């Protein structure tokens, strides 16, 4: 593997890669050419992501694996599913999208993750983790009758396989026993001591056609001694337990092979080439290095998980702290004040702003890995024994723990705070990561309160409000930086359900804002002379303010960075119905469609939530 000291600024020469338009072109290459192709793919990946920004570390780690899989399997006829998809850039480069790879994550460009509508080589759309095994199990069972020769491969990471869904699928696979291959891409190096002579030697034996033949024919040539086959199998199991860490997968009914070196293309072709013809579910453990081939990325895998454009023009304006930083400062301050506070995150320490907390309060910090359901019920257990859990979770990932939130938290009215990061439109990661639905799916749950801060200062205050509330409470805030408001460092709270009047206008149209688009609402309300109310709370609504201002108004306009269907504006309409307030309404939010990847600002304009679009839409009512 060629090692690069830096990300190239000039397009590299890639004579082998230039010959590859689709995976079928690879299959005529020699193994030595595949090694050179891997080096070219890695260099091209470095160059292209340096130009476009995006996920880098995961893709660097699976270059050789990607080349080997497309060399050995008849894609797209054979199904290849990448779990999550952060690592799928090399896959896109080799499957007809090389010339457009620089458009990735941009408006109208390539999707940030595999997407079935983008390419026939993307067998399953992904973005959230731990779905790949379930998907290929379904594919393998469905194809069994009409396409028995079709192969089914899932590539899942050591983080994604920690999720309960992955183990449910593994267990079901061991029960149904279809012909399928699961590849564990282990880039955490936690068992690197097992790479080397003995474990590799046995891995090659267990994946060899000779050994397969011995096992398969055991019932015939060992028929006079049927116990001999079982003895062979028992010895194999004991040997695997000694030199391999995968006995748990054997117990689930899968044939475990590994670990093998994921950067040794010769070994992978030998092992995978044999395994693809094995009967039943196969589990191959591959060790890779995240960021492989770039010195800096190998040293700092977190920093190089995703990068921005290398030559991006720096803004002359000073950007304030991100909302995750506001949360990170708040939770440290609150933990100093209250020793019962504990923080929980499902594998998003850096993204959620918990790095500092984890260092200052290691005994009160719990990273439960990619296990959102567990994180919420774990918090419920903590709350029942007198702790004050704060669950820091992305809005889109809380969707995965919805039943636990209702059944384990809300029904029991437990004292838990939910800090919902990345609420609303998130930008380049697209619809799988936008947190568009939390208002709709949270406000219908009894016992919970739900808050939508408009800026950094309000975020800190509403987090304190949520924490002091004796019951389940959620605060939703967006990705990135806010309007750079001055943040009061006191741990002060706000009266629950209390809105604030931003400006009094002469128009009979009342503008109700919910959340982070207040700055757009301010521009419009000033131009059209509207009364502007920052509602702050979706649940409970400030019923007193609404009665006062809507009773004599001709119309209310609501604005939210969330789904219109079932959202905050809908909550106000329900209030008006209950109170017999006859009033027109116009709801602005995210429409009933998935908003494809682009910048957050472009997404906001597409939804008509920017000041210019709002002004034009409201003018006719004033």
The predicted-structure confidence for 475-527, as pLDDT tens digits, reads as follows 999 999 999 999 999 999 999 999 999 999 999 999 999 999 999 999 999 99
Residues of the chain with CATH 3.40.50.920: 500-619
Instruction: Inform me whether the pLDDT recorded for 200 exceeds 80.
Output: no
Active site (catalytic) residues: 290, 372, 400
Q: How many Å apart are CA 554 and CA 510, to the nearest integer?
A: 8
Answer whether 296's CB lies under 8 Å from 282's CB. no
pLDDT computed for residue 189 by the predictor:
41
Instruction: Inform me whether the pLDDT recorded for 369 exceeds 60.
Output: yes
pLDDT above 90: percentage of residues in the chain: 77
Give the single-character DSSP code of 93.
I
Instruction: Inform me whether the pLDDT recorded for 227 exceeds 60.
Output: no
Read off the pLDDT of each residue in 355-381 and give the average, rounded to a whole number: 96
Residues of the chain with CATH 3.40.50.970: 17-307, 323-476
Read off the pLDDT of each residue in 393-416 and give the average, rounded to a whole number: 97
Please provide the distance, in angstroms rounded to a whole number, between the alpha carbons at the two ends of the chain: 66
Domain covering 323-476, topology: Rossmann fold (3.40.50)
DSSP secondary structure string, 347-401?
A: S-HHHHT-HHHHHH-GGGEEE--S-HHHHHHHHHHHHHTT-EEEEEEEHHHHGGG
Give the single-character DSSP code of 458.
H
CATH-assigned architecture of domain 500-619 = 3-Layer(aba) Sandwich (3.40)
Answer whether 465's CB lies under 8 Å from 573's CB. no
Instruction: Inform me whether the pLDDT recorded for 196 exceeds 80.
Output: no
Which of the pair, 541 or 312, is modelled with greater confidence? Answer: 541
Read off the pLDDT of each residue in 132-148 and give the average, rounded to a whole number: 95
Q: How far is CA 130 from CA 126, 167, 202, 398, in A?
A: 9, 9, 29, 15
Instruction: Inform me whether the pLDDT recorded for 321 exceeds 70.
Output: yes
Answer whether 495's CB lies under 8 Å from 583's CB. no
pLDDT band at 223 (very low <50, low <70, confident <90, very high): very low
pLDDT band at 123 (very low <50, low <70, confident <90, very high): very high
Q: What are the structure tokens assigned to 298, written together? A: 């190998």
Phi and psi at residue 40, to the nearest 5°? -70, -40
How much is the pTM? 0.86
Answer whether 513's CB lies under 8 Å from 427's CB. no
Answer whether 365's CB lies under 8 Å from 357's CB. yes
Read off the pLDDT of each residue in 344-356 and give the average, rounded to a whole number: 94
pLDDT computed for residue 241 by the predictor:
57
Q: What are the structure tokens assigned to 79, written together? A: 């199904």
Per CATH, domain 17-307 is 1.10.150.20: no
* Tens-place pLDDT, residues 411-469: 999 999 999 999 999 999 999 999 999 999 999 999 999 999 999 999 999 999 999 99
pLDDT above 70: percentage of residues in the chain: 86
Q: Give the SS3 label for residue 99.
A: helix
Q: Where are the alpha helices (DSSP H) in 191-309?
A: 197-206, 209-216, 218-221, 226-243, 247-251, 265-275, 295-299
Instruction: Inform me whether the pLDDT recorded for 551 exceeds 50.
Output: yes
pLDDT computed for residue 522 by the predictor:
97
pLDDT band at 622 (very low <50, low <70, confident <90, very high): confident
Instruction: Inform me whether the pLDDT recorded for 195 exceeds 60.
Output: no
pLDDT band at 228 (very low <50, low <70, confident <90, very high): low
pLDDT computed for residue 39 by the predictor:
94
* Tens-place pLDDT, residues 233-291: 555 555 555 555 667 888 889 999 988 999 999 999 999 999 999 999 999 999 998 87
pLDDT band at 316 (very low <50, low <70, confident <90, very high): very low
Q: How far is CA 319 from CA 167, 180, 250, 323, 620, in A?
A: 43, 49, 52, 12, 36
Instruction: Inform me whether the pLDDT recorded for 194 exceeds 60.
Output: no
């Amino acid at each position: 593997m060629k090692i690069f000291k830096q990300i190239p600024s000039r397009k590299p020469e890639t004579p082998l890669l230039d010959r590859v338009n689709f995976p079928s072109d690879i299959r005529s290459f020699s193994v030595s050419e595949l090694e050179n192709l891997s080096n070219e793919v890695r260099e091209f990946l470095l160059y292209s992501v340096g130009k476009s920004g995006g996920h880098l570390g995961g893709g660097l780690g699976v270059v050789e694996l990607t080349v080997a899989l497309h060399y050995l399997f008849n894609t797209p006829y054979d199904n290849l599913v990448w779990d999550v998809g952060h690592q799928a850039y090399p896959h896109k480069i080799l499957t007809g999208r090389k010339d457009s790879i620089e458009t990735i994550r941009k408006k109208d460009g390539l999707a940030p993750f595999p997407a079935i509508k983008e390419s026939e080589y993307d067998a399953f759309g992904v973005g959230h983790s731990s779905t790949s095994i379930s998907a290929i199990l379904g594919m393998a069972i469905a194809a069994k009758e009409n396409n028995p020769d079709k192969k089914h491969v899932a590539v899942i990471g050591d983080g994604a396989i920690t999720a309960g869904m992955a183990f449910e699928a593994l267990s079901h696979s061991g029960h149904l026993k279809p012909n399928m291959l699961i590849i564990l891409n282990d880039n955490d190096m936690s068992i690197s001591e097992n790479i080397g002579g003995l474990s590799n030697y046995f891995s090659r034996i267990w994946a060899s056609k000779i050994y397969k033949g011995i096992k398969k024919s055991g019932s015939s040539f060992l028929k006079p001694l049927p116990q001999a086959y079982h003895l062979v199998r028992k010895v194999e199991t004991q040997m695997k337990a000694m030199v391999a860490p995968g006995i748990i997968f054997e117990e689930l009914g899968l044939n475990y092979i590994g670990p093998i070196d994921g950067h040794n293309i010769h070994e992978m072709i030998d092992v995978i080439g044999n395994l693809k013809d094995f009967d039943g579910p196969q589990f191959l453990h591959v060790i890779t290095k995240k960021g492989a081939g770039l010195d800096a990325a190998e040293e700092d895998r977190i920093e190089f998980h995703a990068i921005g454009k290398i030559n991006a023009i720096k803004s002359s304006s000073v950007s304030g702290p991100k909302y995750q930083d506001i949360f990170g400062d708040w939770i440290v301050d609150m933990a100093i004040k209250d020793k019962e506070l504990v923080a929980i995150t499902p594998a998003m320490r850096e993204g959620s702003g918990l790095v500092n907390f984890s260092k200052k309060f290691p005994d009160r910090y719990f990273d439960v890995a990619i296990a959102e359901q567990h994180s919420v019920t774990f918090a419920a257990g903590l709350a029942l024994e007198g702790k004050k859990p704060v669950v820091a979770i992305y809005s889109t990932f809380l969707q995965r723990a919805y039943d636990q939130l209702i059944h384990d938290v809300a029904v029991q009215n437990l004292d838990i705070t939910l800090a919902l990061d990345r609420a609303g439109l998130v930008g380049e990661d697209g619809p799988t990561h936008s947190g568009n639905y939390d208002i709709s799916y949270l406000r219908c749950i009894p016992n919970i309160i739900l808050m939508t801060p408009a800026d950094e200062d309000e975020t800190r205050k509403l987090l304190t409000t949520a924490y002091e509330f004796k019951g389940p409470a959620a605060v939703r805030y967006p990705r990135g930086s806010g309007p750079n408001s001055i943040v009061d460092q006191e741990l002060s709270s706000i009266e629950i359900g209390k809105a604030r009047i931003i400006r009094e206008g002469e128009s009979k149209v009342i503008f109700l804002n919910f959340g982070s688009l207040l700055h757009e609402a301010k521009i419009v309300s000033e131009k059209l002379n509207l009364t502007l109310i920052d509602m702050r709370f979706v649940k409970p609504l400030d019923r007193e303010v609404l009665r006062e201002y809507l009773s004599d108004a001709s119309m209310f306009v609501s604005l939210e960075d969330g789904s219109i269907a079932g959202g905050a504006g809908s909550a106000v309409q329900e209030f008006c119905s209950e109170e017999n307030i006859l009033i027109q309404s116009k709801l602005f939010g995210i429409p009933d469609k998935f908003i494809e990847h682009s910048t957050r600002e472009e997404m906001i304009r597409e939804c008509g939530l920017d000041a210019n679009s709002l002004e034009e839409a409201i003018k006719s009512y004033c």
